[in-house]
Structure 1
Amino acid sequence: MSVHDDPLFTLDAHGRVVGWSGRAEHIFRRLAADVLGRGVFDLVGSEGPGPCPWRIVPLTDGPPERAWAVWAEDDGLPGLSTAILDAVFAQADIGLHILDAQLRVVRINPVAIGMRGVSRESVIGLPVAEAYAPLGVRLDESLLRDVLATGKPVRDVLVSTRPFADPEHEHTISLSVHRLTDEADRALGLVATTVDVTDRERAQARLRLLHKARERIGSTLQVERTAGELVDVAVPDFADSAVVALTDAVLQGKAPELLPPDGEALLRCTAAAGADSDRPVPPAGSILLPGLFGPQLPTSPVVLPPPAQDPPGPAGTVDTPRLVAPLSARGQIFGVVAFARRPGREPFTADDLELAEGITTRTAGHLENALRFTREHVVMTALQSWPLRQEPQTQRAAEIAQRHRAAGSGAGSWFDILPLPGARVALVVGQVERPGLSTVATMSRLRTAVHSLTTLDLDPHELLARLHSTVQRLAREQPDAEGVHEPTVHCTFAVHDPVRGRFDIARAGRSLLVVVRPDGTVDTAPVDEGPLLGEEGPPFASAGHVLPEGSTICLASPALSEEEGPTVDRLAAALGHPGRGPQEMADDVERLLASDRVLLVARTRRLPAPDVWQREVPAEFRAVGRARKRAEACLHDWGLAVDPFAAELVVSELVTNAVRYGAAPITLRLIRGESALICEVDDAALTAPHLRHARAADEGGRGLHICAMLAEGWGVRYREDGKTVWAELPVLPDGRDG
C-alpha cells in the first residue's frame, strides 16, 4: 500500500472542504474553485474515482480550521461514504439528517437532537413529514423527491419552527438537501443539513426594514403624510400596531418646541394603524396624553411594560409591552410613536430598540424638512398675495382680468398693474428662475424696483435696462461663488396710452405675450424674445403699436419648459374671440397654464373725446396768454372743481417753459379725470427741464418750482420725437372751486 505524503483533500469540523489537491482534481474531475467551502456531501454520489479505497485521519497538530485529512489508498476501507459520514456525524456542529429512499428518518446527529430537543428514538423510522410535524415544520415532500430523482441538490431553504428546547421563540432554519448514491450511482437516500439562521434572518429583516423606511418615508414635504408613511412601514413588518402623535405646534406649521423638562406635551394622533381589531387604535386628530407613551415623553427608544392596572381587553386579550420612541432632532420634539405587538409574537429586543431609533431619527429629519417647507410655503404665499386691487385710474385705460394658479412652489412669478401719469397704465409680468424661498424674496425686491423705476417715467426698454442692473447687483450679493444660484429673470413691461391708443412694450426672456385685435386677428409675436435679465443684458427687444380700442393684450409668466407651455394654436383658439370679455378669456387661458403661473388679460380702452382737450401753441411768448385763456374756458365748460388760479398758473408756466427752452411743435393738453386734472405740454426738444430755487434778485427761474408747489405731482417723459412735461392738479372735494 502506497500512501502519498500530502492528503488528497482536507475537511473542517463541519465537513466542508478546505483543501483540494491537484490529484483530487484528477480523480474527481473537479477544480478546487468548484469544491472549496462546499459540504463533503456534494462529493458523495458525484462522478468520482470508482472503487478506490480511502483513509481518513483526524488532524491534531495542524491549524484549527483543518480537522480531517483524506488519503487515497490501493486497498483498505470499503468506500468514502461510511468513513466520512461517521466522522462528520460525530464532530459537526450543524444538524444532519439521513433519509432513506422512502423519505424515512434513519439517522440524525447529536447536534440535530440538541437543536430539536427530542430523543433519537422518537424520530428514527418515521416519515420525515410526520417526524417534524410536532415542531410546526412543514416540509415540501415533492422537493425532497425531486432531489432524490434528479440528484440536483437544494440549498438554503428557510423553514420556521418552535423547537421544544425554546418553544417561546420562533426560529428560522436553513435546510439544504443532497442525494446519497452508491458506487453504481444508485440513489440510497438523502442527507439534509440544518443550520439555525435565526440571528442572520433577523438582522437581514432589520436591514430590509431600514431600506424600506429610507425608500418610503419622506416622499412628500407634508407633515401628516410623513407620519402616515412611518405607520405604513412599521405595520405589520415591525409591529402589529403603531400610533404616531405630533405636537400641536408642529401640526400648525410652527417651529417645534424644546422637549419640556417634565416630559409633558399636548399631542394629537396624526396617523395610526393596527392589525388587531380587538385593540382599536385611536382616531386621527384625537388628543393623546403622554400616558399612552409612558409617564413622560421618552428621550430615547424604550420598552414599556403593560399597565398592570388595566383590565383585559375584549375576548380576554391583554396588553403587551410597547416600544415607545421620540420623534426629535437637536433637542426639539416633533412627536412620539408607540409600537405594539400582539401576544405570542416575538417581544421587543435590544436590536429592535436600535432599529426603532434608526427609523424614528430618519422620520424626524423628514418632519423637520416638511415643517421648514410649510413655513416657507406660508412666507411665499404671503409674498405672492394675488390678485391685486385695480385702481380706478387704471380701469379708465383698460379692463383687466388677473389670474394666479397658486401651488406654493415658490416659482417667483409676479404681475403688476401700475397707474402712470397721463392716464396711462403699465402692465408687468415677470418670473425669477429656480423656484424657492430665495427666489420669491428676489421677486419681491424686483417688484419694489419696478415700482420705483416707473416713477421715473422711463421708456419700457430703458426700464428693463435699469432693472437688469438691479438683477446683476442682487447676483453679486449672493454668497454662491460658482454662480449656480445667481438670479435670472423673465420680464415683460408694457405701457398702454388711452389718449393716443399707443402700446409700447419691451421684453426680456420668453414671457407669454399675445395681442388680439377687435377684428379677431391674433398676433402671437408682437415683439421678439429678448435676453434674460441678469444674463447678456441690453439691448432688449422692444416695439410700439397703435392699437384700436377694444384690443386684448394677454401677458403670462413663462412655463418651466416648452412641454408645460400652451401651443400657439391652442392659445390662439382660446383668445380668438374678441366678443368675449377679459374674464372669460382669462378663464380659457388659465386652463392651459401650469401651476404657479400668473396671467393678465387686458381689454384696451380710449378716453372719451370730451375728456381730452388739446391745442397747438405757437412757439412765441405772446401765445402763452391765449393758451391760458383757452384752458380756462375748457375748465369752465367741464365744470371741473379745481383751483382756477392754480390751474391757470400751471398752464402758463408749462407753456412758457416749452416756448423758452423747447422746440416746435408745442401742444397743450388737458385730461379730465375723476380725481385730478392732468396738464401736459409736448415739444420736440430733448433737453430736460431743471427745477431750481431762484435767488431773490432773479426775475425768472421759478416756473417749475411754482408748478411743484401747486400740483400733486409733476414730471417729464421722453419720446423718440421729443418730450412731455406734465403736472397733476387735484379735484377739490365737494365741488369747491377754491
Structure 2
Amino acid sequence: MDAYREQDQAGTPPYEAAVPWGTETAWGDAVLDAVFTQSDIGLHVLDTDLRIVRVNAVAAGLHGIPAERILGMPAVEAYASFAGVRVDEAALRAVLATGRSTTDRLVSGRSPGAEHREHVYSASAHRLQDGEGRVLGVVVTSTDVTEREQAQARLRLLHDAHERIGTSLDVDRTARELVAVSVPAFADSVVVALTDAVFRGQDPALQARETVPLLRCAATGRTGDGPEVPEAGAVLLPGIFGERLPTAAHPFPPAAESGDPATRLLVPLTVRGQIFGAVSFRRLDDAEPYGPDDRVLADALASRTASCLENALRYTREHIVMTALQSWPPPREEATQNAVDVARRHRPGGSGAGSWCDVIPLPGARVALVVGQVESREPGAVATMSRLRTAVHSLSTLDLDPHELLARLHATTLRLAAEGAEATVGTPGLADGTAAPPGAGFDGVPSPGVHPVAGCTIAVHDPVDGRLDVARAGASLLVVVHPDGSADARPLDDGPLLGGEGPPFACATFFLPEGSTLCLASGGEGPRTEDLMAALAHPERDPEAMADDVERLLAPDRVLLLARTRHLPPDELAEWEIPYDLSAVAIARAQVEERLGEWNHPAEPFTVALVASELVTNALRYGAAPVLLRLIADGPSLTCEVSDAGQAAPHLRHAKAVDEGGRGLLICASLADNWGVRYTDEGKTVWAELVGDGPP
C-alpha cells in the first residue's frame, strides 16, 4: 500500500497502479470478450482485405446471418448476399488508409425471405492498430434504427402534408395535393374520391351507417410499377371502397383486421360527422404492410385534407355570394343616355378583391360615375365593398358635391371597421386550424385588427354645360381624353384613402366639350402610360371598342368604366332668367306652358306650370337674385329647376287652414314624383321631377 501511495504521489493514477505489470494483454482480451458477448451493439471485425474475421451475436442477429457462414468472406459479398445491405467498400478502405473514422452512416437492406421489410442501420467504422502502430483491420459497429427512421419519416410526411395540402381554396386541387404528398412516400398508388355533393359545391351529408354516398374519383396517382388506378370522374361505389365506408383508417380487405398483412388502407374524409369522400392508399403486394402507426398517419393525412376541403367549400359558397354582390345593382345605362355613353369591364381574378363601378342617374339629367376598390384581397373585401357601394347610392340622393360625398363615405368606412371588429369577437376560426383567407371571417366581415381602407373616384357630369366635378380618394386610374385626341393622364392628384387619413380629398372642376371621354379604373398597379395613351388615342371610336383595348392592359380584379360625354340638345333644354319681382311669376308660368307645347312633352302642362310657379315664388320671396328657371326634358321625365343666390334651406311645412301661405313646397311634393335641393358655391337649386304617361 505504501508503494501504491508513492506512485500516486508521483503522479501515476491509482487505477493504473492497481493493474499488475505484464497483465495488459489479459485485460484487453477480457474486455474484448465482454464486448463481443454482452454488448447490445453489433460488432464486425474486418481484416485489411475487408474479410470478416469476427462478429458478435448481436451483429449476426441484426441481419439473421449465421456467424460461421460468413467468417472469412469479403464483407461486401457477405452482407449483400445474406442481408441485402450494400457495403461502401471505398469508405472502409479510406478508414484503413487514413485512420479517420466514419460515424453514424445510415445503410439499409432487405433480408432474403423478408424482402417486404426494409431495415435501416446506423454504422460506424474505426481502424484497428496494434501497440506498434501496425494496421490490423477495421471494426464496424452497427445499430438497428429502423423504428426511429420510420417514425422520423412519418413526422416529415405529416409536416409535408401541412405545408403542401390546402395551398388553395379549390376542391380538385386539394385532392391532387394529397396524392402528390402520398406518392411514393406513403403509397405506391392513391385514389381520392369525393361525394357527388362536394363536386357540385353543396354541403356534404352527415355520415350514416345505413347509406353510402355516391363517390366519384377526384384525383389519382401511382408510381411507375404501382397498382392500376381508375379514371378521374369514375363512380367508385360500389367498388374499391367496398359497400360501407369505415369511420377511421381501415385495412382492405377486412380480413386483414385479424392480423394478416394489409397493403391497402381505406380512410374516410370526414369533418364533424360530414362525409366529404374517401381515400385509398395502396402499396405493392411485396412491400411492407401497413402497421398501426401507418393507420394513425393515414388518419392524420385524411383529417388535414378533409379540413381543407371544408374550407374550400365554404370559400366556394362565399365566392358565389361575392359574385352576386359585385354584380349588384344591374347596369342602368338607359337611364343616363342623355348624359353619357358608357362601357364597363371587369377582369375577375378569383382573389376576392372588392372592386366596383357604378353609373348613378342624378336629378337634372346629370350622372355620377363611381369607381372604387377595397384595399385588400379577401372574401370580406367584397362584403365591405357592397356596404360602401350601398352607402354611395344612398348618399347620392343628397345631391352632395363629390368631395363632400367622399367625406361622408370616409366616416361610413370608419364605422364599418368598428362594427366589423365588434362582430368578429368570439367568431370561431376555420376547422382544424387550417389556413383561411387572411384577415376575414367567413361571415364576410373583416377580422379584428384588420382596418379596411378603400379607394374611390367620383365624377359628376352635367350635360347642360359640360361641367365635370371630380373627387378622388386613393390612386385610381383617371384619364380625360378630349375630342381632338389630346389626353390628360393626371387631371387630379391622388387623395388619402377612405378609412385612412381622411379628408380633405383631392377635387377639381372641369368644363368638357361634347364627345370627351372619361377613363376610370379601380386602384392597383396601372398600365404603362404609353400603352394607355395608345389605347385611348382615337376618341372617335365607339366606347366599347376603346374599353376592349384598355381592358387588356389592366391587372386582374380591376374594373374599368369608360364614359363618352354628351350635351343636351336645344330641344331638351329651356332656361329663363326671372326678374326679381313677384309679378314675374305669371310670365314664368306662361313660358313653361308654351315650351311644353312646342316640345309636345307627355307631362301634364298645368301640373308642370303650377310646380314651376310655386318654386319661382319661393325663390323670389326667400331667396336672392339672380333667379334662374330651367326645364330639362330627359325622355318621359321632366325636371323643373329654380336656382337663386340665397343659401337659406327651404323646409316643407304643413300650413294651417287659416294660413295664407306656406304651401308651396307641399304642393310641389304632392304633384311631383321627386324633389330636392342641392347647394353650390353660387347659391342653391330647388328641383322637382315629373314623369309623363308616355313617350315624348
Per the TM superposition, whether the score is higher than 0.5 is yes
Q: Decide which of 63, 73, 88 is 2:35's aligned counterpart.
A: 88
In 2, distance between residues paired with 1:707 and 1:407? 49
Q: Decide which of 108, 112, 116 is 1:160's aligned counterpart.
A: 108
In 2, distance between residues paired with 1:716 and 1:131? 102
Judge conservation of contact 1:380–1:408 (CA < 8 Å) in 2: no
Residue 108 and residue 680 in structure 1: after superposition, are their counterparts in 2 closer, same or farther (change >3 A)? same
Judge conservation of contact 2:358–2:370 (CA < 8 Å) in 1: yes
In 1, distance between residues paired with 2:370 and 2:194? 44
Judge conservation of contact 1:300–1:357 (CA < 8 Å) in 2: yes
Q: Decide which of 219, 232, 257 is 2:205's aligned counterpart.
A: 257
Judge conservation of contact 2:338–2:634 (CA < 8 Å) in 1: no
Residue 162 and residue 565 in structure 1: after superposition, are their counterparts in 2 closer, same or farther (change >3 A)? same
Match status 1:657 vs 2:618: yes
Judge conservation of contact 1:552–1:603 (CA < 8 Å) in 2: yes
In 2, distance between residues paired with 1:432 and 1:547? 30
Query: Shift of the alpha carbon at 1:350?
Result: 0.6
Judge conservation of contact 2:118–2:288 (CA < 8 Å) in 1: yes
Read off the aligned partner of 2:132 and give its amino acid letter. A
Judge conservation of contact 2:370–2:456 (CA < 8 Å) in 1: yes
Residue 502 and residue 306 in structure 1: after superposition, are their counterparts in 2 closer, same or farther (change >3 A)? same
Query: Shift of the alpha carbon at 1:167?
Result: 6.2
Q: Which residue of 1 aligns with 2:673?
A: 712
Structure 1 range deviating more: 488-497 or 85-94: 85-94
In 2, distance between residues paired with 1:386 and 1:587? 22
Q: Which residue of 1 aligns with 2:119?
A: 171
User: Aligned runs of 1:33-432 on 2, under 5 Å?
Assistant: 74-78=21-25, 82-135=29-82, 136-163=84-111, 169-262=117-210, 264-275=212-223, 279-289=227-237, 291-305=239-253, 321-385=263-327, 388-432=330-374
Q: Which residue of 1 aligns with 2:431?
A: none
In 2, distance between residues paired with 1:372 and 1:405? 23
In 2, distance between residues paired with 1:248 and 1:165? 45
Q: Which runs of 5+ in 1 are unaligned?
A: 9-21, 28-53, 56-69, 309-318
Query: Shift of the alpha carbon at 1:335?
Result: 1.5
Residue 271 and residue 168 in structure 1: after superposition, are their counterparts in 2 closer, same or farther (change >3 A)? closer
Structure 1 range deviating more: 497-506 or 384-393: 384-393
Q: Decide which of 497, 502, 506 is 2:471's aligned counterpart.
A: 506
Judge conservation of contact 2:252–2:266 (CA < 8 Å) in 1: yes
Q: Decide which of 690, 695, 709 is 2:651's aligned counterpart.
A: 690
Query: Shift of the alpha carbon at 1:73?
Result: 5.1
In 2, distance between residues paired with 1:641 and 1:164? 102
Q: Which residue of 1 aligns with 2:485?
A: 520
Residue 558 and residue 193 in structure 1: after superposition, are their counterparts in 2 closer, same or farther (change >3 A)? same
Residue 221 and residue 95 in structure 1: after superposition, are their counterparts in 2 closer, same or farther (change >3 A)? same
Query: Shift of the alpha carbon at 1:125?
Result: 1.8
In 2, distance between residues paired with 1:346 and 1:717? 83
Read off the aligned partner of 2:277 and give its amino acid letter. G
2:24 alignment partner, SS class: coil
Judge conservation of contact 2:344–2:562 (CA < 8 Å) in 1: yes
In 2, distance between residues paired with 1:615 and 1:649? 16
Q: Which residue of 2 aligns with 1:542?
A: 507
Residue 436 and residue 125 in structure 1: after superposition, are their counterparts in 2 closer, same or farther (change >3 A)? closer
Q: Which residue of 2 aligns with 1:640?
A: 601
2:305 alignment partner, SS class: helix
Structure number with bigger Rg: 1
Judge conservation of contact 1:460–1:495 (CA < 8 Å) in 2: yes
- What is the Cα-based RMSD across aligned positions, in Å? 2.9
Q: Decide which of 437, 459, 484 is 1:494's aligned counterpart.
A: 459
Q: Decide which of 372, 381, 385 is 1:443's aligned counterpart.
A: 385
In 1, distance between residues paired with 2:471 and 2:26? 98
Q: Which residue of 1 aligns with 2:662?
A: 701
1:565 alignment partner, SS class: coil
Query: Shift of the alpha carbon at 1:455?
Result: 1.4
Judge conservation of contact 2:263–2:288 (CA < 8 Å) in 1: no
In 1, distance between residues paired with 2:94 and 2:652? 107
TM-score by length of 1: 0.84
Q: Which residue of 2 aligns with 1:669?
A: 630
2:85 alignment partner, SS class: coil
Q: Which residue of 2 aligns with 1:619?
A: 580
Read off the aligned partner of 1:694 and give its amino acid letter. A
User: Aligned runs of 1:572-651 on 2, under 5 Å?
Assistant: 572-651=533-612
**Cα-to-partner distance string for 1:673-724 (whole Å, 9 max, x where unaligned):** 2211222222221222222223223333322222222222222211111222
Residue 356 and residue 698 in structure 1: after superposition, are their counterparts in 2 closer, same or farther (change >3 A)? same
Query: Shift of the alpha carbon at 1:514?
Result: 2.0
Structure 1 range deviating more: 528-537 or 654-663: 528-537
Q: Which runs of 5+ in 2 are unaligned?
A: 426-446
Residue 164 and residue 451 in structure 1: after superposition, are their counterparts in 2 closer, same or farther (change >3 A)? closer
In 1, distance between residues paired with 2:65 and 2:168? 54
Residue 628 and residue 23 in structure 1: after superposition, are their counterparts in 2 closer, same or farther (change >3 A)? farther
In 2, distance between residues paired with 1:647 and 1:270? 68
In 1, distance between residues paired with 2:627 and 2:116? 106
Read off the aligned partner of 2:575 and give its amino acid letter. Q
In 1, distance between residues paired with 2:334 and 2:115? 85
Residue 525 and residue 555 in structure 1: after superposition, are their counterparts in 2 closer, same or farther (change >3 A)? same
Residue 133 and residue 470 in structure 1: after superposition, are their counterparts in 2 closer, same or farther (change >3 A)? closer
Structure 1 range deviating more: 583-592 or 179-188: 583-592
Q: Which residue of 1 aligns with 2:517?
A: 552
Higher relative contact order (CA 8 A, sep 6+): 2
**Cα-to-partner distance string for 1:1-23 (whole Å, 9 max, x where unaligned):** 99979xx9xxxxxxxxxxxxx97
In 1, distance between residues paired with 2:97 and 2:330? 84
Residue 110 and residue 728 in structure 1: after superposition, are their counterparts in 2 closer, same or farther (change >3 A)? closer
Read off the aligned partner of 2:419 and give its amino acid letter. E
In 1, distance between residues paired with 2:12 and 2:568? 110
In 2, distance between residues paired with 1:23 and 1:89? 30
In 2, distance between residues paired with 1:476 and 1:331? 36
2:377 alignment partner, SS class: coil
1:718 alignment partner, SS class: strand
**Cα-to-partner distance string for 1:425-472 (whole Å, 9 max, x where unaligned):** 001112223333333222212222211121121222222222223223
In 1, distance between residues paired with 2:115 and 2:394? 82
**Cα-to-partner distance string for 1:32-69 (whole Å, 9 max, x where unaligned):** xxxxxxxxxxxxxxxxxxxxxx98xxxxxxxxxxxxxx
